[in-house]
Amino acid sequence: MTESEPVPLPSPAQPDPVQPDRWAHLRRHTDARIALGHAGSGLPTAAHLAFQAAHAQARDAVHTPLDAAALLAALAERGWPAVPVTSAAPDRAAYLKRPDLGRQLSEESQRRLSEPVRAPDVVLVVGDGLSGTAVQANAVAVLEALIPKLQAAGLRFGPVVVAEQARVALGDPVGALLQARASVVLIGERPGLSAADSLGLYLTWEPRPGRVDSERNCISNVRVGGLPAAAAAAQAAALLTAMFAQRRSGILLDSAAPAPPPVLPGDGVP
């Protein structure tokens, strides 16, 4: 090699072939945050921003008040009488700090529900819970599918109770005051980082204060992208049929057993 000839430079290293993301196809089956990748010691920008947005949506769902007036109007449009009530929590701050207050009726609501009415077989309670957003988006659709099933089974239901600042167990004093045989509480579930609009259904046989969670049956994740409203209503109707046949709920309920005809009004059962 002479001095006039250029010095050959080393060939640049060839990059390794791009390896396929073996997790990518799993994203089609779940809303969970998987295979997000990384940038340095943190997340890529897009994944980080999506996480922040989901967190904000969850916080908004907890603090956004239920539009009870709009819900009551939607029920009235469908010909379903409704009665509004509130828990003993005076505001959202107290509700979040004192879960026990959300399980009790306010004094005014107790008086309202103590007025003489014909005892229903099933009381339907719609409560805001921890996501008024979920109730606004899903409750009416579930009732539209569930109420015809109750009517077809011959089960009597009274006015829909619309409860604000409500916890699941608020259905117990409501059911006790109305002397209902069973209760179905439709309530906003605690928002997660993949769903802020999830509705839950909690079914209890002979609701009364002092019932515990093991005495309830739960249907959860009712939302677009989760359990459809019609499917949730079908499950609730099946559970109610089993409850009226076995006169129990929760972990003692054998929902898989062949159910005899439901106990209907006027059959002499106390």
Residue list, annotated binding site for adenosylcob(III)alamin: 168, 189, 218
Q: Give the pair of three-digit tokens for residue 37.
A: 């990748």
The span from the CA of 209 to the CA of 9, in Å, is: 84
Q: DSSP 3-state assignment of 189?
A: coil
The span from the CA of 258 to the CA of 196, in Å, is: 36
Residue with the two structure tokens 């600042």: 165
Q: Give the pair of three-digit tokens for residue 78.
A: 């469908």
Question: Cβ–Cβ contacts within 10 Å for residue 180, how many?
Answer: 27
Q: How many residues does the chain have?
A: 270
Annotated binding-site residue numbers: 168, 189, 218
| Strands (DSSP E) found in 129-181 | 160-164
Phi/psi for 173 (5° steps) reads: -65, -30
Q: How far is CA 54 from CA 1, 24, 48, 136, 191, in A?
A: 65, 20, 10, 19, 10
**Strand order across the beta sheet in which 160-164 lies:** 82-86, 160-164, 122-127, 182-188, 199-205, 216-222
